[in-house]
A and B are shown apart, each in its own frame.
Chain A
Amino acid sequence: MNSAIRIEGVTKRFASVQALAGIDLEIAPGEFFGLLGPNGAGKTTLISALAGLVRPDAGRLAVMGHDVVADYRAARRQLGVVPQELVFDPFFSVRESLEIQSGYFGIRDNAAWIDEILENLDLKSKADTNMRQLSGGMKRRVLVAQALVHRPPVIVLDEPTAGVDVELRQALWSFIRRLNRDGHTIVLTTHYLEEAESLCGRIAMLKQGRIVALDTTANLLRRFSGHTLRLRLAPGVVLPDSLRSRLSGESGEEHVFALGSCEEIEPLLAGLREAGCRIEDIEVGKPDLEEVFVRVMNRT
């Protein structure tokens, strides 16, 4: 067993929709992995298949070496899932919900760990509050807590910060980062690409049930994005032809140059100086995952 998650040739069709069209993916223990894609790309279906909520038409999935069908009990013990929807049981308090969830996993006395989770997710003051009385953000934290009660080595978060305020988002990521540092494997789906860029070491992009890009975040940024130099020239200034050929975009007095590396900035500015082009404003743009995402989705 070398993989935290191993997915081999998984397909799933819902009526006329091919939700998963042959997914092969391996995620190593301790990775912080991003699963990105537009709505309907198959992210949630893939996570659901991993969690046993969806039965694939073909292929195999395993969590920490345990097949999710043949050895489902062991597989589910290794996996914590934070679902996308804000679901809760209105009959119970926060603590009761966590105790019940612990019991489902066969853990009788889990009070110490539950207290620790409540502390880390800033839920301690709400421990005995009924779930119905919590705000949306608080309910989201409880969902994270419920996914962690059985200390799973693999944690899947399906858009955990959708509709969550900045403060909670930062607290949540700080906690999840700590879990990752402690050795937990994290799989994240999110529409906030800046989150994926800053958190994930490796990313898979899905489109129409297929993986269309799979690489480290750094490599994806290098391959599909890059630094840009955005200049606003003084009115009436005309770019020399030698520099015009290097433009990647232009709008009025604004000119954008795509750079292979930051070292290209100096020669470019020297060229502008020699041509007598007066610069009014200058901005260096960093590589960004959103651009990578758009490019990958458009080329496939």
Chain B
Amino acid sequence: MDGFLTLLYKEVLRFWKVGFQTVAAPVLTSLLYLLIFSHVLEQHVKVYDNVSYTAFLVPGLVMMSVLQNAFANSSSSLIQSKVTGNIIFVLLPPISYRQFFAAYVLAAIVRGFVVGIGVLLGTLWFVGLSWAAPHWILLFAVLGGAIMGALGVIAGIWAEKFDQLAAFQNFIIMPLTFLSGVFYSIHSLPPFWQQVSHFNPIFYMIDGFRYGFFGVSDVSPLLSLGVVAACFVVLTAFTLWLLRIGYKLRA
């Protein structure tokens, strides 16, 4: 158990030591998104009754921060360790592949939460939020962070250079998060794109998370939970399999 706790501690300490880059910068970016989008669209877009566009935007931005930073934490840590060779320090000790997975994913959730809470606290200056079902907020944040942490582990193990990881991040993660309903309700999209959005798992993470605040959502929160939980199980199983066979870690 101590090996796992130490790896978790190390992963948290790693991002905390460069907090300006890993926490402050993404919080600031999200607040800028909020400032600009709410300023431009507040008077033009109405998504739910009794919910202002700025208030609608906040949970999406918070969840987007959680997801992107959870992914960034595990993926960047692993690729850096692989490229510099210090991954050996984690591979030599008696740490099981399950502990390895759990430590990286939990650290990713922690970073996602720290940034997400930072964004949430920052936005409270701008808008008052309701808290319709806090347990849904927590559940979707944990599951979403875990999914993206696991995806980060996969990307970090798969990528052999920073360029490959950047491609994974910019061509898969970024479009999926931006096209998931962070800035809009999918009901405002043409029918075809509404259908396409239903194949984006991040849409369900954002929608379920937003339900926790307003008690309304584009699809049933139970459906969102089912999709997100299924994604978590599949990704966890796949990541554990990769780690068990030592894919690109143990020759």
Interface residues of A (CB under 8 A from B): 14, 48, 51-55, 72-74, 76-77, 79, 81, 83, 85, 87-92, 96-97, 100-101, 103-108, 146, 150
Q: Is the pair A81, B251 in contact by a Cβ cutoff of 8 Å?
A: no
Q: Is the pair A55, B92 in contact by a Cβ cutoff of 8 Å?
A: no
Chain A residues within 8 Å of B13, by CB: 91-92, 96
Given the complex of chains A and B, what is the CA–CA distance between A146 and B10 in angstroms?
Answer: 15
Q: Is the pair A90, B2 in contact by a Cβ cutoff of 8 Å?
A: no
Q: Is the pair A48, B251 in contact by a Cβ cutoff of 8 Å?
A: yes
Known: A14-B251, A53-B251, A91-B17. A104 touches B95 (CB 8 A): yes
Q: Cβ of B50 < 8 Å from any Cβ of A?
A: no
- Between B2, B7, B18, B92, the greatest number of chain A beta carbons within 10 A of the residue's beta carbon is seen for B92
Given the complex of chains A and B, what is the CA–CA distance between A79 and B6 in angstroms?
Answer: 19
Q: Which of B1-37 contact A (CB under 8 A)?
A: 1-3, 5-7, 9-10, 13-14, 17-18
Known: A53-B92, A53-B251, A55-B250. A104 touches B86 (CB 8 A): no
Task: Give the shortest distance, in Å, between A103 (CB) and chain B (any CB).
Answer: 3
A-B contact pairs, 24 of them (CB 8 A): A14-B251, A52-B92, A53-B88, A53-B251, A54-B250, A55-B250, A76-B92, A79-B92, A83-B88, A87-B85, A89-B86, A91-B18, A96-B13, A97-B89, A103-B5, A103-B6, A104-B3, A104-B7, A104-B94, A105-B93, A106-B3, A107-B2, A146-B89, A150-B93
- Between A101, A104, A105, the greatest number of chain B beta carbons within 10 A of the residue's beta carbon is seen for A104
Given the complex of chains A and B, what is the CA–CA distance between A105 and B90 in angstroms?
Answer: 10
Task: Give the shortest distance, in Å, between A17 (CB) and chain B (any CB).
Answer: 12
Q: Is the pair B94, A73 in contact by a Cβ cutoff of 8 Å?
A: yes
Q: Is the pair B2, A108 in contact by a Cβ cutoff of 8 Å?
A: yes
Q: A88-B84, A89-B84, A150-B93 are in contact. List 13 more A-B contacts (CB 8 A).
A: A53-B91, A55-B251, A74-B94, A87-B86, A89-B81, A101-B89, A103-B3, A103-B6, A103-B10, A104-B90, A104-B93, A105-B94, A106-B1
Task: Give the shortest distance, in Å, between A134 (CB) and chain B (any CB).
Answer: 14
- Between B1, B88, B90, the greatest number of chain A beta carbons within 10 A of the residue's beta carbon is seen for B88
Given the complex of chains A and B, what is the CA–CA distance between A105 and B7 in angstroms?
Answer: 11
Q: Is the pair B250, A52 in contact by a Cβ cutoff of 8 Å?
A: yes
Task: Give the shortest distance, in Å, between A68 (CB) and chain B (any CB).
Answer: 11
The contact size tier of chain B is 20 to 34
Q: Which of B189-220 contact A (CB under 8 A)?
A: none
Q: Number of A-B pairs whose CB atoms are under 8 Å?
A: 80
Q: Cβ of B246 < 8 Å from any Cβ of A?
A: yes
Given the complex of chains A and B, what is the CA–CA distance between A104 and B106 in angstroms?
Answer: 16
Chain A residues within 8 Å of B92, by CB: 51-53, 76, 79, 81
Known: A87-B84, A89-B86, A103-B9. A76 touches B14 (CB 8 A): no
Known: A103-B2, A103-B5. A72 touches B94 (CB 8 A): yes
Given the complex of chains A and B, what is the CA–CA distance between A27 and B92 in angstroms?
Answer: 21
Chain A residues within 8 Å of B17, by CB: 91
Given the complex of chains A and B, what is the CA–CA distance between A131 and B86 in angstroms?
Answer: 12
Task: Give the shortest distance, in Å, between B242 (CB) and chain A (any CB).
Answer: 14
Task: Give the shortest distance, in Å, between A300 (CB) and chain B (any CB).
Answer: 26
Q: Which of B121-158 contact A (CB under 8 A)?
A: none
Chain A residues within 8 Å of B94, by CB: 72-74, 76-77, 104-106
Chain A residues within 8 Å of B251, by CB: 14, 48, 53-55
Given the complex of chains A and B, what is the CA–CA distance between A74 and B94 in angstroms?
Answer: 7
Residue ID in chain B nearest A97 by CB atoms: B89
Given the complex of chains A and B, what is the CA–CA distance between A97 and B10 in angstroms?
Answer: 9
Chain A residues within 8 Å of B91, by CB: 51-53
Chain B residues within 8 Å of A85, by CB: 85
Chain A residues within 8 Å of B7, by CB: 104
Chain B residues within 8 Å of A54, by CB: 250-251
Closest 3 CB pairs of A and B: A103-B6, A104-B93, A73-B94
Chain B residues within 8 Å of A48, by CB: 251
Given the complex of chains A and B, what is the CA–CA distance between A96 and B85 in angstroms?
Answer: 18
Task: Give the shortest distance, in Å, between A20 (CB) and chain B (any CB).
Answer: 12
Residue ID in chain A nearest B16 by CB atoms: A91
Residue ID in chain A nearest B89 by CB atoms: A101
Residue ID in chain B nearest A147 by CB atoms: B92
Task: Give the shortest distance, in Å, between A148 (CB) and chain B (any CB).
Answer: 12
Given the complex of chains A and B, what is the CA–CA distance between A168 and B1 in angstroms?
Answer: 37
